Amino acid sequence: MTIMPTESSELVHAVSAFMVAARFELMAFASAMVMFAILSWARAHKDKGKLVEESEIAWGTNSCWLNAPSAATAADKMSSSEGKQADMQLNTSSAAEAGTMCTDIIQPDEKAVVQPTKAKAASPKKVQPDIAKEIMMMRKSASEKNLKGAVSILESLRQRGVEMNTTIYNSMLDVCVKCWDLEALDAWMQEAKQVGAADVVSYSTLVKAHMLNDDLDKARSVVREMNEAGMQPTFIVFNELVNAAVSRGGEESVVWDVIREMREMRMAPNQVTCSILLKSLNAQTADAEVVKVMDLIARIKEPINDILMSSMVSACKCISKPYLVTSRLQQLQQTKKLVGNSSQTIASLIKAYGIANDIQSVWRCWMDMRSRHIKPTSPTLVCMIEALANNGCTNDGFDLVQQLQADPQCYDVVSVVMANSALKSFACQMRQQRPYFSF
């Protein structure tokens, strides 16, 4: 079949129109895909409800645009040769409109764009100082007698915003005592009281400083101030006051004034207090003073310990009338406040009764120990032999030694005791009376 020139030109125009329409459809499809990708990204970073609504509007616009009559009109007019120019102009204008519409759809709303937030620069953290380490450095300065160095450490803590607590102030007070600066001590104590950081340790440190300075009156005034501040002084503080009053050889009234203040603050003297008072007794002490101390011991509620017992024995040696002590010892034994549960306590009792020339009580203590099957030790046997020898009971001492030598459990104790230098006089006396006496 031969194609005429006119038909050929019409065919060419038809193919051209089809290609223009096909290119237009491809552009629409590409625009739709780009729009879908942008809306998907925005949906992940923005409120879902709002973006879904915008997506539906966008997709509806695109659907309407895809079904626009411009494409159908172009396809219908491809077979018509009369509307070739008008058809091409229509497709061109439709493509321009579609491009403009795609541009409007592709550009998302400014509110829907999620701008990435900039990370804020982290503020530098303040390094808290090691309080324990700083206090150790203050104590080191105190050992070096460097008060200025300790003060500089404390001021550096204050400048760094560290709260001045009780521990820091007490450390500073201790530094002032070791550096022997009482003026600085009073100044820091006043500051601690003003900020409410003074406690029992603070006042006790101040009392200690005044006693080291041999100022008992000022130390007592600090204790009264401490009590007025609602803080209970400790037994250690009062015992230090009693010891200071006894050691400096002051009047007896001063010692008993401290005891009175102790009772006024609802604190009864304990065994340490009584031991200190017993050390103050001597040959010139009045009998009334001795009785007063022994009455104080009798008021103690707890059992008498070995330390107080040793102090009572020492007092028997020092005072002119040891029976004032031994009479109270008997009362304490009867009331069960003094029980010889150990050979050490029994040795002290035997020694005290021996000094008071109370042989009957000496033998009573010894027999009580043996009846309870308490093995005598070397100090116990030494005290027993000395008590018998000093009171003229040499034969009784000899018989006792013979009995212990026959006892397998006590033979080793006798061998050790006989080597004691304190029994040389007893051994010599026994040899004179009994030439065949041997140990």
pLDDT tens sequence across 10-36: 655 665 666 656 666 677 677 777 777
300 and 318 co-located in one domain: yes
State pLDDT tens for residues 58-102.
Answer: 444 444 333 444 444 444 444 444 444 444 444 444 444 444 444
419 and 356 co-located in one domain: yes
Helix (H, G, I), strand (E, B) or coil at 311: helix
pLDDT of residue 353: 92
369 and 417 co-located in one domain: yes
| 249 found inside a domain | no
Buried b (16+ CB within 10 A) or exposed e, 339-365: ebeebebbbbbbbbbbbbebbebbbbb
State the residue range of the domain holding 289.
Answer: 268-334
- Among 57, 87, 109, which residue terminates a domain? 109
Number of domains in the chain: 3
383 and 369 co-located in one domain: yes
350 and 389 co-located in one domain: yes
13 and 90 co-located in one domain: yes
| 303 found inside a domain | yes
| 326 found inside a domain | yes
| 260 found inside a domain | no
Q: What is the mean pLDDT of residues 291-298?
A: 91
Q: Would you say how long the chain is, in residues?
A: 439
| 263 found inside a domain | no
346 and 330 co-located in one domain: no
- Among 294, 315, 334, which residue terminates a domain? 334
345 and 312 co-located in one domain: no
State pLDDT tens for residues 121-168.
Answer: 544 555 567 788 888 898 888 888 889 998 998 888 888 888 888 999
**d(C-alpha 78, C-alpha 87), whole Å:** 8
Token couple for 53: 């609504």
315 and 277 co-located in one domain: yes
**d(C-alpha 389, C-alpha 355), whole Å:** 11
387 and 368 co-located in one domain: yes
C-alpha distances (whole Å) from 41 to each of 35, 63, 114 are 10, 21, 10
Signed CA dihedral, 427, 432, 434, 437: sign only: positive
CA 341 to chain centroid, in Å, comes to 40
Find where tokens 């046997």 sit. Answer: 381
| 177 found inside a domain | no
Other beta carbons within 10 angstroms of residue 289's beta carbon come to: 18
- Among 278, 309, 334, which residue terminates a domain? 334
384 and 425 co-located in one domain: yes
| 59 found inside a domain | yes
| 243 found inside a domain | no
